[in-house]
Amino acid sequence: MYLLTMDWWLVLEKAILVAFIVTISLVIAMYTTYAERKVAAWLQDRRGPNRAGPFGLFQPLADGGKLFFKEEIIPVSSSRFLFILGPSLAMITALLTSAVIPWGGHLHLFNRDVSLQIADVNIGILYIFGVVSLGVYGIMIGGWASNNKFSLLAAIRGASQMISYELAMGLALIAVLMLTGSLQMSRIVGSQVEGSNYWNVILQPVGFIVFFVCALAECNRTPFDLAEAENELNFGYHQEYSSMKLGFYLFAEYINMFISSAVMSTLYFGGYDILPFVDETKWGLDPNLLSILGFAALMAKTFFFLFVFIWIRWTIPRFRYDQLMNLGWKRLIPLALVNMLITAALILWLKK
């Protein structure tokens, strides 16, 4: 009876949207590796990839082919099942976080309003934090299953820094939740688009800075890439991995960068809102065109943050591990707490 009453059009819409988001995440992650080397070359006054295809555009395809055809090695002394589970878990958790991000408004197609959000759950932020927390297990399982002391030490480093910086990130986010009054991602965007017409970064600049720094640490990016410190840990938690298992770990990092950039754009920069302080519905444009422009605006903001991620990597030197932990526990957490308390006090004062 349930199958007879199921809205099959809704199932088809969501299936197409899932396929689109997964595909675009993989393609953007693939070409972020190209952008990483091109931006580095630009900053260091050199050419970067320029042989594989015009302007080196086929370089990511060449890298992917190399990973696919490399010999796959599983150490004899490793735990085979967990050794395979580690990179798989890292990749899956990286992709799952995209489910609750509003990628645009609604498209009106075939007499239906099609939402450009896979799942509009009322605990969207908690879902993101829950899935991101599972990513720690991918790193820990991979490092432990390798049966390599360097890999294990790197995995412990990576897991401890991710857990530490998640606390400051969550506290910074509470201030945004106080302003919007909801954990639902669509309502957080709606409060910036339809409510006040200004973006949350204007009211929460300190919270955004804390969130951005924590995002760098969550993605294991410089200057927080202590889990891959070559001078002391050789290669890091994926030292024993080769072929596409290594590729999964590398891809997961770039997908996490893409999703983190999209989340920051959604929470602090209006999401698919095109311009702050402007009501785009008064432009008289077709609603479908407006939704497409909104998706393009979100992508533009996301690409900007991806550029900043890469820029920071080739600009700032790596911290020592004690400096990394001191920054998280003794600087960012107190700063996020003070920001949260000031926000709460101002909200109560303005409501009087």
**Distance (Å, rounded) from C-alpha 186 to C-alpha 182?**
9
Q: Which phi-psi region, left, alpha or beta, contains residue 117 (left: φ > 0; alpha: ψ -120 to 50)? A: beta
**Distance (Å, rounded) from C-alpha 110 to C-alpha 116?**
15
Task: Select from 297, 350, 351, 338 the least CA-distant residue to 103.
Answer: 297
Give every CB contact of residue 210 below 8 A, 6+ residues apart in sequence: 168, 169, 171, 172, 332, 335, 336, 339
Cα–Cα–Cα angle for 135, 138, 143, rounded to 5 degrees: 135
Using a CB cutoff of 8 Å and minimum separation of 24, what contacts does 27-30 make? 28/254, 28/258, 28/306, 29/251, 29/254, 29/255, 29/257, 29/258, 30/60, 30/61, 30/64, 30/251, 30/254
DSSP state of 329: I
Task: Select from 216, 292, 202 the least CA-distant residue to 261.
Answer: 216
Q: What is the pLDDT of residue 13?
A: 85
Give every CB contact of residue 29 below 8 A, 6+ residues apart in sequence: 251, 254, 255, 257, 258
Q: What is the pLDDT of residue 31?
A: 92
Q: What is the pLDDT of residue 230?
A: 61
Task: Select from 63, 34, 61, 64 the least CA-distant residue to 49.
Answer: 34
Task: Select from 98, 84, 94 the least CA-distant residue to 136.
Answer: 94
| Angle formed by the axes of helices 124-145 and 149-180, nearest 10° | 180
Query: Which of helix, strand or coil describes residue 109?
Result: strand
Q: Along the 352 residues of the chain, how does pLDDT read in single tens digits?
A: 445 555 777 788 888 889 999 899 889 999 999 999 999 999 888 988 888 888 889 999 998 888 888 888 888 888 888 888 888 898 888 888 888 999 988 888 878 888 888 888 888 888 988 888 888 888 889 888 988 888 888 888 888 888 889 889 999 999 999 988 888 898 899 888 875 568 889 989 999 999 999 999 888 888 888 777 666 666 778 888 888 888 888 888 899 999 999 999 999 998 888 888 887 777 878 888 988 999 999 999 999 999 999 999 888 888 888 888 999 899 999 999 999 999 999 988 887 6
* Cα 38 from chain centroid (whole Å): 21
**Distance (Å, rounded) from C-alpha 171 to C-alpha 211?**
9
Q: What is the pLDDT of residue 77?
A: 81
Q: What is the pLDDT of residue 277?
A: 80
Is the CB of residue 120 less than 8 Å from the CB of residue 185?
A: yes
